[in-house]
Amino acid sequence: MIRVVIADDQPLVRAGLRVLIADTPDIEAVGEAADGAEAVELVRALRPDVAVMDIRMDGMDGIEATRLITSDPASTTHVLVLTTFYDDDYVYAALRAGASGFLVKNMVLESILDGIRTIADGEALLAPVVTKRLIEHFTGRPGPAAARPVAAGPRALDGITEREREVLTLVGRGLSNAQIAEELFITPGTAKAHVARIFTKLDARDRVHLVIIAYELGLVAVSG
């Protein structure tokens, strides 16, 4: 059972997510918070698997709450940011704060549930629109994020098998391990093993870093 804390300053949003989760046998909502400070307290008390975090809340916002949750050495909670705001600054701030996923509220409900499952399984997850904006920033704009070195150039793929190249391309498109498995007709465990080997071979920090590498190597194009 995946245990979830919901943090959002809008009661109707919390109620909607609670009802959605109540109808899902493998996910349980164990607590609700109306602001970031309350979310941090609940996470410390309840130790959920996932905190579904809004960004804009009165008092402590979701960015600061995410930073406090993920910087706690005793915490094993993954943060899934779910918001109507996906402006660049929010995306980068959430990722810098340690969020494992970033989805927007206008996504279909099943995608939100799948996002919770993906984050609980230890994977990173970005909504496609967020991935595109993130890549455009990392590959085409100056600033602290763009200044981070990433592998680039043809030699970066030395030692990468053709199958791993296919997997890296799908990671670059924002697919989860389960989706990669479905796309390539392999098991989720095999997909996860391929991704783990790619992490090692490309010396990637995290899944977001793999996405950036895929774009910089031309495996995935940034559309206009």
In DSSP notation, 14-29 reads HHHHHHHHHT-TTEEE
pLDDT tens, position by position, for the chain (224 residues)?
A: 999 999 999 999 899 899 989 989 999 999 999 999 999 999 999 999 999 999 989 899 999 999 999 989 888 899 998 877 666 677 778 777 888 888 877 777 788 898 899 888 877 776 666 666 666 665 554 443 333 344 444 456 778 999 999 999 998 887 888 889 999 999 999 999 999 999 889 887 667 778 778 877 888 865 54
**Domain range holding 33?**
2-126
Do residues 174 and 131 touch, judged by C-beta distance below 8 A?
yes
Q: Are strands 50-53 and 78-83 parallel, antiparallel or unpaired?
A: parallel
Structure token pair of residue 216:
């910089």
Do residues 174 and 102 touch, judged by C-beta distance below 8 A?
no
Question: What pTM, to 2 d.p., does this model score?
Answer: 0.69
Distance of CA 107 to the CA centre of its chain: 14
Domain stop point among 99, 126, 153: 126
CA count, 13 A, side-chain hemisphere, 87:
5
Same domain, 56 and 87: yes
Kind and range of the H or E run holding 158: none
In a domain, 181, yes or no: yes
Any long-range contacts for 110-113 (C-beta under 8 Å, 24+ apart)?
A: 112/17, 112/20, 112/82, 113/20, 113/21, 113/24, 113/27
Q: Residue 40: exposed, middle, or buried by beta-carbon count in 10 A (0-12, 13-18, 19+)?
A: buried
In a domain, 116, yes or no: yes
As for how many domains the chain has, the answer is 2
SS3 (DSSP) at 152: coil
In a domain, 222, yes or no: no
SS3 (DSSP) at 8: coil
In a domain, 50, yes or no: yes
Neighbours of 130 (CB within 10 A): 22
Do residues 184 and 191 touch, judged by C-beta distance below 8 A?
yes
Q: At 8, which CATH number?
A: 3.40.50.2300
Neighbours of 218 (CB within 10 A): 11
